[in-house]
Structure 1
């Protein structure tokens, strides 16, 4: 490997060992009067405070184990994306776009592991190459102090004096930084692991001990997979080798001015597999389900299988150095409701220097949950295709052993298709299977009868224990489809036409229920969902203004939960490469709708332009209680409301969507009623499911608009434009005096 252009000098290590004592750490970080009070330490760490001492880092690093965001056993998809950016990086002449990609991906990866030496070092390298010496120094110092903290926790030479770590990867990062070639680790006890050197050093040291006990504090029953130097699998052999060399080289560079080369006389054993788990489909009668495992090794290897009598067959049992494809097949079926473990495959180098295991599982015949994705109309079809590409990207990580996704799209007027998106073990990629063709379509996709039929067909084609429904289109919240016939419009046609007119040149946004000039009332949507015969756990609206209390109230019986935005949604839509994993948490056994809302916010908050992303989770069973709480306020309302003082969620000259909570509190001077309403709001719209950027974008004024008050849901009540129509809504009837 060529010498790197940037070489860091390690800060002096602590002169004396400081073994973490949990009672001391907990007392210090939880005492507001302590200099190591954790909220203050964390803020200083995030701000790259250069006055943080080695003692501060001791409590910062080991105190992190007591924080709710410490989840060491959860996967970190952002880290996979980070490694992908590294695979494209030319260290000798890095392109600025690649450096920016490393910075963006690395920053995201730090959210799950904020003390990763490897990620911190790459970020330092990238910033230095871009000329930002201050940021480069900040990340360098963080990395050096984290490594120094680990090394000061013991000497690593005995089981009684191990180095203490928060993540398995930190152990390999420390050893890589010291340029110590190592072999596969082994478990010594419930809390200690041993990592042997390839060759003992001049002092006779054969390996090092690490205390990993903190990793299992929160979920001791969950397994965890370790990989050499924390290097994850990339798409190609060349990428994997490049990332391995980069990681080793950059970490070694952190410790010596003279640079670091991989030892040619003590080469690391190379054995990599492209999977750590295989999940088989259920084969048709008389056929087999198949998968392909790709093996890369630098010496001869052999395969072993433990299956307790299960039927699994492999194409070859051994091979020479190089890259090979091992085909595995089974004729078994799984009639249960959980993943069924068929056995474990072990690939080992014949000289005993390394081995890897692969769990073999089979999904149940019936899915735990199916997500139906209904993309309405044709005018946003180019965006829909991008959305589905993001779905495929998410599924390529094999996150759906217990779930299914089927999507309806209308590529052109008069034709539509229902396509299943699934992970294919043999292809190691997301595959698309067309389940239903509508040629021609029986009508517009906004026709309630057509929607009812398509939703029923989709559910029948992908049966499951429960269903979620995703709806994407244009939308105007609760407003009736026939607003062109409204009383306000009849008296002032020109103004109404201007009200909904997009400013020329404005970025595109979404709404719901539009197909070739035909719109849908929310009551029609509710009827179509009910008529489909499918009971939905949740609705997810990738459409504008649908977190409108009037619309939500009409849909309260359509699902248990609803995810929607109170303002406009950018035409790009939701970030499905992160939203889909939240909808199929734990292999698809459950969904995390609050996390899906957070995904929307995090995506748009990180983009360079149009930082406009709001999403709110509604608990439908609480909407009746919310109506009662507002009815009580209306009954005793003593204050006139000045609508111009309220938070609005549209960019129109005459606003149509106002913050519900701020409006309700403005109606009354009765603190008890106001407090009761806020408490019901928190039950109906849990705070952990409300997310918003600092501003929202509107096509109706073509600019960003500030959000100073956010309850996550709107009401039409203070508006006047369509008052006659609003007074006919079910929400009005339930809340009027």
Structure 2
């Protein structure tokens, strides 16, 4: 690993005066709690080109108020740690500084992910931390379960550098994060607003902002220039800031896209409410028969058959729709009340990927769930090993 200090854009004024670079920013916000945001761009795959565009969008949105933003980028050219600088009175134009060059490494490794978190926390300490995570994802699904021909599937993060694709499963992702480290985790990834994911991360972060369906490219890139400051502003409570970020994205999608591109789901989860939700789900399941359910009328959020998957059946169902189907009325009412406390904000377009094996969104509770099906015996077995399954079936809570 080579430690360097280089600046992408040479700014003589910053070099001469550099008061904000020297970390002695003085202004109206200087007494606020500090925050370090970590942006983890796992783009050593077919998303490599997107990482550069996201870095530029983040640069445009950077304003220095005593906080810090570190960007780990893994692309076809190798991995590096970057920092957003400038954006202050002395150096108004933000720029990107290279802090470290790592060379070729596996960004979909839990060990790499954990190392990056440790390095940033040790070298850029703050009162609070936020994480933006970008890569491929398929929620809680274990490696090898989408069965895409010629390409192994993914869970949270993908690295294609070696001949065999590397993936990071959600349990390993969660284990890499120290308990209570983050005020929020923002997932710019597909199919991540699953209750199984939320359960794994319930002790790692205060809030999770994620999508029940896929995130259509270019994702959050168009709103980073205007919405990144929302995530940095510690004068605003975290929930309010994340809601505002989510609205900015949804407003952009609905105002600027048509047809299949006008497709988005987003929800904000209060992780303190996930454990009580498991208790309510356990009660909802208490009188449910073990027979194979009729899933044909349930809302789902994936596009079966679009990933080379076979059999082409849904795997990400709306949690509220499922609970209402299986629970007695009084149990469902208690579940629904708790769900409203867990999902504090949500939004969705009316359709998703219309004309491209898409679907109508008639119901969007903000959390999805897997439901066992006879067509997926191996996936069913993997699901029974998940922490969420054990929680709702009477195991750990």
Would the TM-score normalized by the shorter structure come out above 0.5? Answer: yes
CA displacement 1:497-543 (0-9 Å, x = unmatched): 479999xxxxxxx973100110111111011112xx88111111100
CA displacement 1:29-59 (0-9 Å, x = unmatched): xxxxxxxxxxxxxxxxxxxxxxxxxxxxxxx
Quick one: distance in 2 between partners of 1:544 and 1:587?
30
Quick one: distance in 2 between partners of 1:696 and 1:478?
21
Q: Is 1:473–1:512's contact at 8 Å kept on the other side of the alignment? A: yes
Relative distance call for 1:632 and 1:402 in structure 2 (3 A) is: same
Relative distance call for 1:592 and 1:458 in structure 2 (3 A) is: same
Relative distance call for 1:290 and 1:622 in structure 2 (3 A) is: closer
Partner of 2:273 in structure 1? 622
Quick one: distance in 1 between partners of 2:235 and 2:94?
15
Quick one: distance in 1 between partners of 2:135 and 2:350?
24
Partner of 1:666 in structure 2? 325
- SS of corresponding position for 1:419: strand
> Which of 77, 80, 84 is the aligned partner of 1:421?
84
Q: Is 1:658–1:718's contact at 8 Å kept on the other side of the alignment? A: no
Partner of 1:453 in structure 2? 115
Quick one: distance in 1 between partners of 2:351 and 2:150?
21
1:711 aligns with 2:375: no
Quick one: distance in 1 between partners of 2:49 and 2:365?
32
Partner of 2:10 in structure 1? none
> Which of 64, 69, 87 is the aligned partner of 1:405?
69
1:723 aligns with 2:380: yes
Partner of 2:253 in structure 1? 604
Partner of 1:476 in structure 2? 138
Q: Is 1:383–1:573's contact at 8 Å kept on the other side of the alignment? A: no
Relative distance call for 1:679 and 1:500 in structure 2 (3 A) is: farther
> Which of 279, 284, 289 is the aligned partner of 1:633?
284
Q: Which protein is bigger by CA-based radius of gyration?
A: 1
> Which of 564, 588, 593 is the aligned partner of 2:210?
564
1:428 Cα deviation after fit: 2.3
Relative distance call for 1:333 and 1:374 in structure 2 (3 A) is: closer
- SS of corresponding position for 2:36: strand
1:736 aligns with 2:393: yes
Q: Is 2:350–2:361's contact at 8 Å kept on the other side of the alignment? A: yes
1:562 Cα deviation after fit: 0.7
CA displacement 1:619-647 (0-9 Å, x = unmatched): 11111111110100111226974200000
Q: Is 2:292–2:373's contact at 8 Å kept on the other side of the alignment? A: no
Q: Is 2:185–2:209's contact at 8 Å kept on the other side of the alignment? A: yes
Q: Is 1:374–1:409's contact at 8 Å kept on the other side of the alignment? A: yes
- SS of corresponding position for 1:617: strand
Relative distance call for 1:290 and 1:469 in structure 2 (3 A) is: closer
CA displacement 1:152-183 (0-9 Å, x = unmatched): xxxxxxxxxxxxxxxxxxxxxxxxxxxxxxxx
1:614 Cα deviation after fit: 1.1
Relative distance call for 1:683 and 1:632 in structure 2 (3 A) is: same
1:74-89 equivalent positions in 2, closer than 5 A: none
1:433 aligns with 2:97: yes
1:378 aligns with 2:44: yes
Partner of 1:683 in structure 2? 341
Q: Is 2:35–2:234's contact at 8 Å kept on the other side of the alignment? A: no
Partner of 1:394 in structure 2? 61
Partner of 2:129 in structure 1? 467
CA displacement 1:342-379 (0-9 Å, x = unmatched): xxxxxxxxxxxxxxxxxxx6846x96111100001322
Quick one: distance in 2 between partners of 1:445 and 1:411?
9
1:588 Cα deviation after fit: 7.6
1:420 Cα deviation after fit: 1.1
1:332 Cα deviation after fit: 11
Q: Is 2:143–2:167's contact at 8 Å kept on the other side of the alignment? A: yes
1:601 Cα deviation after fit: 1.3
Per the normalisation by structure 1, the TM-score is: 0.45
Extract unaligned runs of 5+ from structure 2: 1-13, 305-311
Q: Is 2:43–2:51's contact at 8 Å kept on the other side of the alignment? A: no
1:394 Cα deviation after fit: 1.7
Q: Is 2:372–2:380's contact at 8 Å kept on the other side of the alignment? A: no
Partner of 1:585 in structure 2? 233
- SS of corresponding position for 1:452: helix
1:734 Cα deviation after fit: 1.1
Relative distance call for 1:632 and 1:728 in structure 2 (3 A) is: same
1:594 Cα deviation after fit: 1.5
Partner of 2:315 in structure 1? 656
Relative distance call for 1:637 and 1:631 in structure 2 (3 A) is: same
Quick one: distance in 2 between partners of 1:546 and 1:569?
10
Partner of 2:353 in structure 1? 697
1:586 Cα deviation after fit: 6.2
CA displacement 1:561-617 (0-9 Å, x = unmatched): 111101101121213223313212367885611222222211211223311121111
1:471 Cα deviation after fit: 0.7
Per the normalisation by structure 2, the TM-score is: 0.81
1:454-603 equivalent positions in 2, closer than 5 A: 454-483=116-145, 496-497=147-148, 512-516=156-160, 517-530=165-178, 535-574=181-220, 575-585=223-233, 592-603=241-252
Q: Is 1:511–1:569's contact at 8 Å kept on the other side of the alignment? A: no
Partner of 1:172 in structure 2? none
Which range moves more in the overlay, 657-666 or 443-452? 443-452
Extract unaligned runs of 5+ from structure 1: 1-280, 292-330, 335-339, 342-360, 485-495, 503-509
Relative distance call for 1:650 and 1:535 in structure 2 (3 A) is: same
Quick one: distance in 2 between partners of 1:681 and 1:589?
21
Q: Is 1:544–1:565's contact at 8 Å kept on the other side of the alignment? A: yes
Relative distance call for 1:425 and 1:559 in structure 2 (3 A) is: same
1:657 Cα deviation after fit: 0.4
Relative distance call for 1:712 and 1:467 in structure 2 (3 A) is: same
CA displacement 1:446-491 (0-9 Å, x = unmatched): 111111111211223322111001110000110012437xxxxxxx
Quick one: distance in 1 between partners of 2:48 and 2:370?
30
